[in-house]
């Protein structure tokens, strides 16, 4: 389990001297210069949010006030962090986590989700290329001199 006091974590995180305490059933091991957010490449606020929406289920330790994160919670946070970098939504991350947890899953479902994401990215790239072409056209037609005539402003006001 990882025991982390949020106020302590925030202080340490701000001071760039992050520490995370990993407690096992038999002993505690201190890992220097790392924190749960650093391990998962997420901010403290994001880790809290993911706990609040149920992506991870830390147990509040009433004796210390810390939230106890299991190794599974840390792995789930790392998984979600990577999935979010591929632009999967929270809902899609939940679905991927569910598929990951199901050892009898079909890889067909995972591939389907991934292909859908690729299609979304391709559509966004097409849209961005179109916007770039339009802006380039406007910029090329603007003299950029001391005169008030500006085709960019004219196009935006239409």
Q: Tens digit of pLDDT for each residue in 22-58?
A: 333 322 322 222 356 666 778 888 888 998 999 988 8
39 vs 13, residue with greater confidence: 39
Kindly state whether residues 97 and 43 are assigned to the same domain: yes
CA 98 vs CA 33, 76, 102, 132, 151: distances in Å: 32, 11, 6, 38, 52
CATH number, domain with residue 86? 1.10.1660.10
* Pair 26, 46 in one domain: yes
Looking at the fold, whether 76 and 130 belong to one and the same domain comes out as no
How large is the average pLDDT for residues 113-128? 97
Q: Are 34 and 41 in contact (CB under 8 A)?
A: no
Of 64, 83, 105, which residue constitutes the final position of a domain?
A: 105
Q: Domain limits at 36?
A: 1-105
Query: Are 154 and 133 found together in one domain?
Result: yes
Orientation of helix 44-52 relative to helix 6-14, angle to 10°: 150
pLDDT band at 153 (very low <50, low <70, confident <90, very high): very high
Residues 87 and 30 in one domain: yes
Q: Are residues 117 and 133 in the same domain?
A: yes
- In tens, the pLDDT along 74-118 reads 889 999 999 999 999 999 999 999 999 999 999 999 999 999 999
Residues with Cβ within 8 Å of 35's Cβ and at least 6 positions away in sequence, in order, are 4, 9, 12, 13, 18, 19, 20, 44
Pair 4, 36 in one domain: yes
pLDDT recorded at residue 45 = 85
The answer to which of 16-20, 64-68, 83-87 has the lowest mean pLDDT is 16-20
Instruction: Say yes or no: 5 and 51 in one domain.
Output: yes
Domain co-membership, 40 together with 64? yes
Q: Which two tokens stand for residue 158?
A: 């239409």
127 with 81, same domain: the answer is no
d(CA 6, CA 24): 20
Same domain for 118 and 76:
no
Under a CB-based contact definition with an 8 Å cutoff, are residues 47 and 80 in contact?
A: no
Give the count of domains, the chain.
Answer: 2
Average pLDDT over residues 138-143: 93
Pair (22, 75) in one structural domain: yes
- Residues with Cβ within 8 Å of residue 30, at least 6 apart in sequence: 19, 20, 21, 22
pLDDT for the residue numbered 36: 64
């Amino acid at each position: 389990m990882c025991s982390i006091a949020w106020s302590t974590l925030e202080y340490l995180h701000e001071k760039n001297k992050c520490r995370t305490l990993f407690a096992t059933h038999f002993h505690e091991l201190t890992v220097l210069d790392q924190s749960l957010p650093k391990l998962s490449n997420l901010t403290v606020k994001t880790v809290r949010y993911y706990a609040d929406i149920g992506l991870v289920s830390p147990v509040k330790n009433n004796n210390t006030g810390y939230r106890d994160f299991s190794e599974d919670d840390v792995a789930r946070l790392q998984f979600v962090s990577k999935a979010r970098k591929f632009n999967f939504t929270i809902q899609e991350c939940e679905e991927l986590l569910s598929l990951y947890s199901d050892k009898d899953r079909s890889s067909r479902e995972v591939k389907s989700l991934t292909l859908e994401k690729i299609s979304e990215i391709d559509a966004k790239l097409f849209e961005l290329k179109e916007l770039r072409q339009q802006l380039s056209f406007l910029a090329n037609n603007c003299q950029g001199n001391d005169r008030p005539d500006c085709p960019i402003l004219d196009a935006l006001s239409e």
